Amino acid sequence: MTVEDTLQRPLRDLRISVTDRCNFRCVYCMPREVFGPDFAFLPRAEILSFEEIERLARIFVDLGVRKLRITGGEPTVRHELEKLVGMLAAIDGVEDIAMTTNAVLLPFKAEALTEAGLNRITISLDAIEDDTFGSVNGVGFPVSRVLEGIDAAASVGLSPIKINMVVKRGMNDHQILPMADHFRHSGHILRFIEFMDVGNTNGWRLDDVVPAKEIVQTIHEQWPIEPLEPNYTGEVANRYRYVDGAGEIGLIASVTQPFCRTCTRARLTADGELFTCLFGAQGRDMKALLRSEASDERIKAELTGVWRRRGDRYSELRTAETAELTPKAEMSRLGG
């Protein structure tokens, strides 16, 4: 079955947040000024169980979803995450299971996750220099530990690994070339992400955005690059390769080059709210349905209705003024 929204966009991808907790306090996601020691995270009873997630995922697959991505918070802090991966991998019709992580726990978990069925991994790293990275992640975590996580993922076959760098002017834009230099010839794909106004707590300003075109020009002047065709329709990253054969990079430019028209993603929060846009303010409570006596067909009908009414294209309509005034769910809930 294929279900399309009001702009004829099919439902193909589901991002599943498994926790709202994280061991980092990144300034663009969970700034410690907001997510401090007294912040009230979700109680365990409010978080979807693995069985509830698996049930919803099966229904989403019936509606056309083929790719699943596990997110958070930081997904690896969820106990026995590999059990969930195995449950999702057993669903007939799932073609790809990926995960986004800060890599802290990968040396201990990468093998089990891969054996359970994890196909791909994306690792967040916003600088290659410790002082900058420590200030961005908010807990002083060293780069070397993330690199250990990358190596652990590569050692169990999760390659090529995608490395995500959120670029904010005045915060880490001086790290663009050092990051590119480090990952050239590595076999991994470094992706630069424009600083986005997800949520309302990260102090986003349009002036803080380093446009993708500027990043491309900066790299091209040092190491010539040329564009590549997308791997598939709806790919969020614009791809480039180094002319000298040193590998590939990507640019995710939600602010300056919106890709709403090809977005096929739904997002499920850890407490069971369904969002149809990363910049959404309110979701549909699926947990209440799951914990009622609703049948799979009833839940399927609800999901179908939500997607068919979808008309989201926030990034195409964004202005500096609307970004500041529009209420939005936090990235730590939606999983990026």
Q: Which two tokens stand for residue 56?
A: 């919803």
308 inside domain = yes
94 inside domain = yes
Q: Which domain holds residue 170?
A: 13-334
Question: What gap in Å lies between CA 142 and CA 133, rounded to an integer?
Answer: 7
Structure confidence at residue 279 (pLDDT): 85
7 inside domain = no
3-state secondary structure 157-169: CCCCCEEEEEEEC
Question: What gap in Å lies between CA 188 and CA 231, rounded to an integer?
Answer: 16
Residue 214: alpha-carbon gap to chain centroid: 23
Question: What gap in Å lies between CA 156 and CA 255, rounded to an integer?
Answer: 35
Question: What gap in Å lies between CA 75 and CA 198, rounded to an integer?
Answer: 19
Name the domain count of the chain: 1
The DSSP bridge pattern shows strands 67-71 and 96-101 to be parallel
Structure confidence at residue 53 (pLDDT): 98
Cβ contacts of residue 100 below 8 Å, gap of 6+? 69, 70, 71, 72, 75, 121, 122, 123, 124, 164, 335, 336
Cβ contacts of residue 169 below 8 Å, gap of 6+? 195, 207, 208, 209, 210
Does the CA dihedral 202-255-8-58 come out positive or negative?
negative
The reported pTM is 0.95
5 inside domain = no
The DSSP bridge pattern shows strands 13-17 and 67-71 to be parallel
Structure confidence at residue 333 (pLDDT): 83
Closest among 281, 323, 320, 27 to 197, alpha carbons compared: 323
139 inside domain = yes
Report the amino acid identity of residue 252.
Answer: I
Q: What angle is formed at CA 251 by the lines to CA 156 and CA 4, rounded to 5 degrees?
A: 85
Strand partners, 15: 69, 267
3 inside domain = no
212 inside domain = yes
CA distances from 199 to 25, 44, 67, 329 (A): 15, 23, 25, 5
254 inside domain = yes
Taking the chain (336 residues) in consecutive chunks of 10 residues, what is each chunk's mean pLDDT?
A: 94 97 94 92 96 98 98 96 98 98 98 98 98 97 98 95 98 98 98 91 90 98 96 88 98 94 96 93 93 96 97 84 74 79
Residue 205: alpha-carbon gap to chain centroid: 21
Domain at 219, CATH number = 3.20.20.70
Q: What is the number of other CB atoms lying within 10 angstroms of the CB of residue 135?
A: 14
3-state secondary structure 224-290: CEEECCCCCCCCCCEEEEECCCCCEEEEECCCCCCCHHHCCEEEECCCCEEECCCCCCCCEECHHHH
